[in-house]
A and B are shown apart, each in its own frame.
Chain A
Amino acid sequence: MSNKTPKMTDSLDLGSVVSESIRRLSPKDLARNPVMMVVGIGTLVTFLLGLTNMIQGEPAGLDFSICAILLFTVLFANGAESVAEARGKAQAGALRATRKDLKARKLDGKQYRELPATDLRRGDRVLVKPNELIPADGEIVTGAATINESAVTGESAPVLREARTDNSGVSAGTKVLSDEIVVEVTVDPGNSLLDRMIALVEGAKRQKTPSELALSVLLAAMTLVFLIVVVTLVPFGGFVGATPSYSVLVALLVCLIPTTIGGLLPAIGIAGMDRAMRANVIAKSGKAVEVAGSIDTLLLDKTGTITLGDRKATAFDAVQGIAPGTLRDAALLTSLADPTPEGKSVVALARDKGSDAEASEGTEFIEFSANTRMSGVDLPDGRRLRKGATDAIRKFVTENGGHYPQDTDRLVDRVAKNGATPLVVAEGNRVLGVIALSDVIKSGIKERFAKLREMGVKTVMITGDNPVTAAAIAAEAGVDDFIAEATPEQKLDIIRREQAEGRMVAMMGDGTNDAPALAQADLGLAMNSGTQAAREAGNMVDLDSDPGKLLQVVEIGKQLLITRGSLTTFSLANDVAKYFAILPALFVTSLPALDALNILNLSNPMSAVLAATIFNALIIPALIPFALKGIQFSPASATQLLRRNLLIFGLGGLLLPFVAIKALDLMLTVVI
């Protein structure tokens, strides 16, 4: 992902951001955000007050200054949203660019008809030949092909997609490398995953997520509280003989209402989606990203997530009476023609251990078949070497009139207990020994699970292995729990059970039989390579089809929520300093005694008001990087996280504006 580290200026057109910010000054756009609506009205009011003063020949400089600062406050907030949108759209646009001008060969009865991809409808079937681009998202219904998906995933190694398997899904814009396939289109134009994602980052169609809605309620309520506080100051001031300036009152109101978080809230939400997209995950709703942060239980497939996909030979255990060298050489010979990574690893291990056996002329290789579940070689000297699953070899040996020694079972058990898969090697009617094929635990995965545990997330490993092997791998990887010999139905049961206990469950899957579990899970992350059913059922799709992505998604979700909460706290904590700057300034002319409250020793009322208002405006663009990148998040227990964020954003939010307002006041004194 390092090549995708977001930069602030990534594909960003400053001019369009500025024009977009101005366009969004329209009342219709402002009305969507109550906090900014109030600032907009304040801008208008101060402008009218300035105008009135000007006509009456009174000084209007302060009114117009406040008006200008408020205008910029709104523009900055609009700008934050535009920047986030522009980045999101650029990201999605880059993905979408690949699917422009695609041509399709639509199957019409037995004929094929050429037409633009945009005319394809759900259910149409298209023929795609080697070196052609797939015209639309869909599912292979006939054939199998290797496909280069780099346009979507950035990964150039070809992948195999095949009809009627769990790897039948294809994406528009990816290239068929070999073989002809027939693809059934599964989406109408403008309705693909990417189209939906783009709609999610675009202002007009964006839906607020549940916690965003609840937060908006709180922000609206705080705005109302401050409106009451400021409006009632007029009669209160009048009663004690200090009628305040209306423009300064508007400035006070704008400083108090949560403009910082109000202005950044849309940007934070969009940026969350954008970060998901940068991780090559397409969320079907903003809610899905948010839910990711609250996940309690992760169901993880062993293969690909916890272990590397391929197992590796790690040991040869000869049975009693057989020389280790004999077993080693036999293992090597049986694997010479085995093209699988497992077979290659057997050869590599044997060579490592000093074997120099070679296949002589006339050697016949026996390929693995599902029927015999063995592979091996028939040597010219008549020796028949085989390696395979325990019971297959047992059958082979006894059929050849041999004896299957008890010692073999002991070795097999030992290998299994260590979390490895045993392969038994035999020569004719005698067993030579056992090859241990071990799962290779991904590096760093144990630390990752430890962090998850620290965060209170429970990890459950799902595997088709037998319980003994599963237990060993689970212990080695450090997962909290495992389900061995798992079936898709079991996944669904586990999810339901966890949910019944109130937990939020996330899982990843690709197969059609995973679909019910993906739909049931609170966060169902479907692999893009998976079947259409799986992709429909999940609420996120991982374009990389990387089972480890779940962990990243959880972090993105948490980051999104932390950013919202921390900036809200920051925004409200700021108000104390603003009170101390503006309240004395508001009344000090009529009530000189109140100068004692000017604890910042600001130079004069006018610069105090301007300094507070300017700070209030500038803090929005200053925090845009936080909003877009998300607040840095290191796994820790809830209480530690809370303490840390309270200290930074609560206490920091309390103190920072005192310093900043004083500094701005000093600068203003120089300028004015």
Chain B
Amino acid sequence: MNEVIIIYAVTLLLAWPLGKYIAGVFSGAKGTAGAVFLPVENGLYRLFGVDPSQPMSWQGYGKALLKLHLVLVLIVFGLLMAQGFLFMNPDGIHGMSWDLALHTAVSFLTNTNQQHYSGQAQLSYLAHTFGIVTLQVVTPAAGMAALVAIVRTLLGRGDKKSQMLDDGPVSVGNFHEDITRAVVRIMLPVAVVIALILASQGVPNSYEGARTAIPLDQTAGMAEQHIPIGPVAPMVAIKQVGTNGGGWYGPNSSVPLENPTPLSNFVQTVSIVLIPAALVFALGFMTSRRRLAIVVMGVMVVMSVSLTSVTIWSENQSNAAFSGLAADGPNLEGKEVRFGATATALWGSWTTQTSNGSVNGMHDSFNPIGGMIPMIDMFINVTFGGIGVGLIGYLLFLLLAAFLGSLMIGRAPEIAGKALETREMKLVCIALLIQPLLILGFSAVTVAFPALTGHSNPGFHGLSQVIYEYTSAFANNGSGFEGLGDDSVWWNVTCAVNLALGRFIPILAPLAIAASLAAKRSAPEGRGSLSIDTPTFGLMTLAVIVMFTLLSFMPVLILGPIAEALALIS
């Protein structure tokens, strides 16, 4: 229990200064540490032929973001199909099928890292380091850039970058500048630090091919064992710190090579929440709304602690198969004994709260209630959430709460002095509506034709597996209730659709809302207007989040994990 409290405390303590640094990076013409990084960034701007000083409308920003992603997905898709013929492939790994390549490319493009393959066996070093890892660095930076653009436009107080362009529309900033600073000044330096710590703990860091080991007892039926290695440490660092989650090895951070020591487990756990939490503080520094940042952080911590507690409690209960036996104890099925139930439950909870998706144990083997919490985490998806997108998602709920809250105090709906009207509400509704539509819709079609599921379990758990997979895709999480035969054309293609829509609509709709609001006349925030930085309003936002999630997903949770739990009891 103490380890959980320590990890929470350390993470939040580190997030504060990091948040301040992040806010500094995005402010002004040079930003914090500009003297060090600007030359590098200027080189990049010249290399790609972009002008970082050109203010962009929200459409321009959105187009630049989509264009970058389109180019990246095409490159990675080609790379994955062709990796068998390319260099840096000492183990002779073959190219992927079109649908697996599509799913994999989109999955990494959307900061999801849902894997329908095993990395060490199905990716060459080239694909890993230049395809996958590139995306793992760029996509969290893209989320962060989008967040910064939205926050400065929606809540900013006189930031120079969020003013009118000459021809009318509101400027939301410059995408190239934002994403470049995010990569160069935040993602890379933080990842380097983590990678060094992990390498020191024994995580492999090499371009040599797989090692061959001769088992001591060759009579056991295995003459020699291939132990795949590679530049693992940097990838693990960026996968943890960039809410990516896609590891080098199939079983992710439960493998000793990816997560060898208690210290590496500690560092990796902290890394999951570090930047998402720092961004909440950054919001406060960027907009001079520290009270708002503290209230948002409060709401997120309350959600995180409550949900995590349930998982930890659940996993410390015995596995139903063991109940009554002499070996009764915590549920250790699918867990590394060296981490134990609590550390695995904590990781499982955090990784789903933040849309990270890395694992150090198998969620599929959690007790039913313990396995339900990661699903709820992903339904909510704004408990810290993915880098940038988590806080953007929270802002959507904030808009909804502000809409209802304004009415309840007798004012026309507004947020931070800007009128919320039909156009904004339409966009909020679209962004919220597609979640149940895609998750429940695709799950329903899949279970209506059970042959499509490729499930390993029938009944309640089978339903949970299907729901989990689509939820993980939509939430851009990437973890799985494994045991699903998910490398099929159906799964690959439908998940790719969920991944893409679950990523870009929740980014673009709020960006459009922010620009639309920024163009309106702004009322001074006073006694009579809704203050969004009070605990009361924080509580209301929390209630809106809980209600929306509960109302959308309570039925499937009852038919999935809850029915499973009740059936096991009776």
Contacts and interface: CB of A to CB of B under 8 A. Distances in A.
Interface of A: 210-211, 213-215, 217-218, 220-221, 224-226, 228-229, 231-242, 256, 290-291, 293-294, 296, 453-457, 499, 501-504, 557-562, 564-566, 568-569, 572-573, 575-576, 579, 583, 587, 591-594, 596-597, 633, 637-639, 641-643, 645-646, 649-650
Contacts of B502: none
Given A211-B412, A226-B551, A568-B404, A638 B529 contact: yes
A241 B421 CA distance: 45
A637 B407 CA distance: 14
B95 to A, nearest CB: 35
A504 to B, nearest CB: 7
Nearest to B447: A239
B425 interface: yes
Contacts of A235: 444-445, 447-448
Contacts of B28: none
A291 to B, nearest CB: 7
Given A214-B421, A643-B536, A236 B462 contact: no
B444 A236 contact: yes
Contacts of A573: 547
A210 B409 CA distance: 17
Interface stretch (B112-120, B217-225, B249-257, B559-567): B559-567
A257 to B, nearest CB: 11
A576 B550 CA distance: 8
A647 to B, nearest CB: 10
11 contacts: A214-B424, A221-B433, A229-B551, A229-B555, A231-B444, A236-B559, A239-B459, A564-B407, A565-B404, A579-B551, A633-B410
Interface in B429-476: 429, 432-433, 436-437, 440-441, 443-445, 447-448, 450, 459-460, 462-463
A224 B552 CA distance: 11
Contacts of B424: 214
Contact of A583 (B405, B429, B554): B554
A501 B410 CA distance: 21
Contacts of A225: 432-433, 436-437, 551-552
A558 B411 contact: yes
A119 B408 CA distance: 47
Interface of B: 400, 403-414, 417, 420-422, 424-426, 428-429, 432-433, 436-437, 440-441, 443-445, 447-448, 450, 459-460, 462-463, 521-524, 526-531, 534, 536-537, 539-540, 543, 547, 550-552, 554-556, 558-559, 562-563, 566-567, 569-570
Given A214-B425, A218-B403, A293 B408 contact: no
A215 B422 CA distance: 8
A661 to B, nearest CB: 16
4 nearest CB pairs, A to B? A456-B528, A565-B407, A558-B410, A456-B527
Nearest to A458: B526
Contacts of B409: 558, 562, 565, 638, 641-642, 645
A256 B551 contact: yes
A28 B88 CA distance: 68
A43 to B, nearest CB: 23
Given A214-B413, A236-B559, 18 more contacts: A217-B425, A225-B433, A225-B551, A236-B444, A239-B463, A240-B460, A455-B528, A502-B523, A558-B411, A561-B411, A565-B407, A573-B547, A576-B550, A593-B563, A638-B527, A638-B530, A645-B408, A650-B543
A597 B462 CA distance: 21
A572 B444 CA distance: 25
A562 B410 contact: yes
Contact of B555 (A211, A583, A650): A583
Nearest to B453: A239
B429 A217 contact: yes
Given A232-B443, A583-B558, A503 B524 contact: yes
A215 B417 contact: no
A642 B441 CA distance: 36
Given A232-B440, A236-B559, A565-B404, A210 B421 contact: yes
Contacts of A224: 433, 437
B417 A502 contact: yes
A457 B529 CA distance: 10
Given A233-B555, A236-B443, A456-B529, A646 B536 contact: yes
B432 A221 contact: yes
A455 B559 contact: no
A457 B411 CA distance: 12
Contacts of B555: 229, 233, 236, 579, 583
Given A228-B440, A593-B566, A646 B408 contact: yes
Nearest to B520: A502
A517 B424 CA distance: 30
Contacts of B531: 638-639
Contacts of B540: 642, 646, 650
Given A293-B411, A455-B527, A214 B403 contact: yes
A633 B409 CA distance: 9
A240 B459 contact: yes
B529 to A, nearest CB: 6
DSSP majority for the A interface?
helix
A552 to B, nearest CB: 14
A103 to B, nearest CB: 45
Nearest to B445: A235
A594 B528 CA distance: 47
Nearest to A216: B422
B554 A579 contact: yes
Nearest to A209: B412
Contacts of B570: 592-593
Nearest to B530: A638
Contacts of A565: 404-410
B534 to A, nearest CB: 5
Given A214-B413, A228-B436, A641-B410, A457 B528 contact: yes
Given A226-B551, A638-B527, A643-B536, A561 B429 contact: no
A497 to B, nearest CB: 13
Contact of A229 (B403, B404, B405, B440): B440
A455 B420 CA distance: 20
Contacts of A220: 429
B187 to A, nearest CB: 35
B436 A229 contact: yes
A639 B534 contact: yes
A646 to B, nearest CB: 6
A240 to B, nearest CB: 5
Contacts of B411: 293-294, 558, 561, 638
Nearest to A287: B412
Contacts of A456: 526-529
Given A290-B412, A593-B566, A569 B523 contact: no
Given A256-B551, A456-B528, A587-B559, A218 B429 contact: yes
A238 B569 CA distance: 22
B412 A294 contact: yes
Q: Which residue, A220, A236, A591, has most C-beta atoms of chain B within 10 A?
A: A236
Nearest to A252: B555
A561 B412 contact: yes
Nearest to B527: A456
A228 B459 CA distance: 21
A237 B559 contact: yes
Contact of A569 (B404, B441, B559): B404
A313 B432 CA distance: 66
Contacts of A454: 527
A569 B408 contact: yes
B413 A211 contact: yes
Q: Which residue, A211, A639, A649, has most C-beta atoms of chain B within 10 A?
A: A211
Given A456-B528, A503-B524, A504-B523, A228 B437 contact: yes
B153 to A, nearest CB: 17
A502 B524 contact: yes
Contacts of A236: 443-444, 447, 463, 555-556, 559
B410 A293 contact: yes
